[in-house]
Structure 1
Amino acid sequence: MRARIEDDLLFLHHEDLPGYKKGGSVVRNSYFWALKSIAGQASRQRDWEYESEIWIALGRMLMSFTESGYLGYRETVLEFPITQGEIPDALRLVSTWE
């Protein structure tokens, strides 16, 4: 998922976020609700925002879904632009550069 950090807020690009589908995959729908439940802002057609205080929990959650093997790597890994600078420690294990 494309990600960026601005003013201690992590933004996940809205086009890369999982969608909720009634009657869809239980894992994918659980992933959607897990990401949404810890977001500071999670509006449709807008990037979702995560405060720095929950980055540790977000990192653990992403790692858990990555290790489950039910979702694709690009769906569970944060992709930062090279211009972003250093990736915060709390997100380093679940992040890469674009």
Structure 2
Amino acid sequence: MPARLSIVALLAPAEWVEFRFLRETIGTSDSALSKQITALENAGYVAVRKERSGTARRTLVRLTDHGHAAFAAHAAALERIVGTARQRP
């Protein structure tokens, strides 16, 4: 599954997701994940929030309304493709 689709699929059911969780679940490096999140952020699909508590820092990511709509449209298109493929003899 392409990285951006994996990220968006993980974010879809959640309010905010930690960067670390995304990295570990997808199995990618910090730099590769950061690049993908930046691209999604530039497209308006995700919002990023950085928090600091003492010396601990964490980065949180969530889908925007635009991101939710885009993911729903993409998932619907994939479902149509799969449905058409299943109808073939």
TM-score range, shorter chain: 0.3 to 0.5
Larger radius of gyration: 2
- In terms of fraction of residues, the more helix-rich structure is 2
User: TM-score when scaled to structure 1?
Assistant: 0.32
User: TM-score when scaled to structure 2?
Assistant: 0.34
